[in-house]
Amino acid sequence: MKIAIYSRGGESVHVQDLNILLQALLEQKCSSYLYEPYFMQVKDSIQAASVYAVFNSSEDLDDSFDCMISLGGDGTLLDTVTLIRDKNIPVLGINFGRLGFLASLGKEDLHSAVTALVERTFVAEKRTLIHLEADIPLFGDTPYALNEFAIHKRDTSPMIKIHTYLNGEFLNTYWSDGLIVSTPTGSTGYSLSCNGPVVFPDSSNFVITPVAPHNLNVRPIVVPDNNIISFEVEGRLDQFICALDSRREIVDKHIQLAVKKEQFTISLVRLNENNFLQTLRKKLAWGFDTRN
């Protein structure tokens, strides 16, 4: 079995936990390939570092890889989406961050996760991506996101007007600080913090959520993901922020943007005993009463 391991590194991912993972993979006769910038951070602390190969970019990955393991939080897992692209390599997230909706397994699950990979007792859930189109090139060769697309005003500038259309038909003008279009996966992220609804991962929808809308009767709306959602932006400043997950670009307000469902999907690995409802209850503390 051929496994890629990605991490941003930093203090949250302890080297002793990485060594536990690498040793477990070695015992199962798995070939491990570490993301080179991360490997350079930790190579002096890895046992038998010369055993491991490295990869550096999407071009180094192909369909011979059985899985990519993401070590970190949800932001780290989102990074892997730009590496995997349409190669259909499943992603297993080990949470070394805080909340961890996507990277839902804890570091205490390292051994059980490796066992599930080797014995192929895991579930690979296909997740929808959102694709951005614009009349100028944006975000290079990765114009897509797993969580959300967002338009946002710059810094302390006044609110902006975002004229929004579904398949060319006018939906609404949002007077707000910004607008989020999230996938079902992203409904528990930025959209949720702006009072958007939680949507099941397989619901085939997009959620349009305004950020700090000026009109209080404006609320999030759920639309089928076979819609093309397009935008025209007005504001006192000439530029605004356009974001795909954690990646951002400054865009001229005259640029026209549209989003739609991406042609390919990303597969997220979960163990059989974990599911979306359990993740919701655990991460959002549903059903828990601190008074008891």
Q: Is 44 a catalytic residue?
A: no
Reference 252, options 168, 135, 170, 158; nearest CA is: 135
* Annotated catalytic residue, options 17, 44, 60, 74: 74
Q: Tokens standing for 290?
A: 């601190």
Burial of 242 (0-12, 13-18, 19+ CB in 10 A): buried
Residues forming the active site: 74
